[in-house]
Amino acid sequence: MRNYVIKPGVRGMFSVNTETNEYDVIDYMQTNIDWVYQVPEDGVVHIQGAGDKEVKKDDILILFYSAPHVKHQAIVISSEEWKENIVSRKEYEDSKKEYKSCEDCDKCESRG
């Protein structure tokens, strides 16, 4: 059986065969991603040269660079984990805007 190990911040995924103790490093792959969008509401996305795609609210639309090897110009992802990350980042960014200095925050220990 293979185990795969990732250490955040370190390039590569490690592959370990637990039966033979052999290991390898799996490098990251090129994605050819050009743009990523989050769909605001249900609808149809019209992509010139690639046709139409039905989308649902909060779906993630990924557009790829135009290249001869690109089979699908765009794909739709409905990953709950990815959506949660988007919401979490927005909440984090919004929380940073709320407090502009220590004078605005009762939680700061350095406030005299």
* pLDDT tens track for 37-83: 999 999 999 988 778 999 999 999 999 998 898 888 899 999 899 88
For residues 85 and 60, give the distance between their C-alpha atoms in angstroms, rounded to a whole number. 12
For residues 91 and 98, give the distance between their C-alpha atoms in angstroms, rounded to a whole number. 11
User: DSSP assignment of 37-85, as one string?
Assistant: EE-SSSEEEEETTTEEEEE-TT-EEEEE---TT-S-SEEEE--HHHHHH
Helix (H) or strand (E) holding 24: strand 22-26
Instruction: Give the residues across from 68 on adjacent strands.
Output: none
In terms of Cα–Cα distance, which of 108, 53, 95, 97 is closest to 78? Answer: 53
Residue 103 pLDDT class (50, 70, 90 cuts): low
Query: Cα 54 to the chain's mean position, in Å?
Result: 21
Question: Average pLDDT for residues 20-46, to the nearest whole number?
Answer: 92
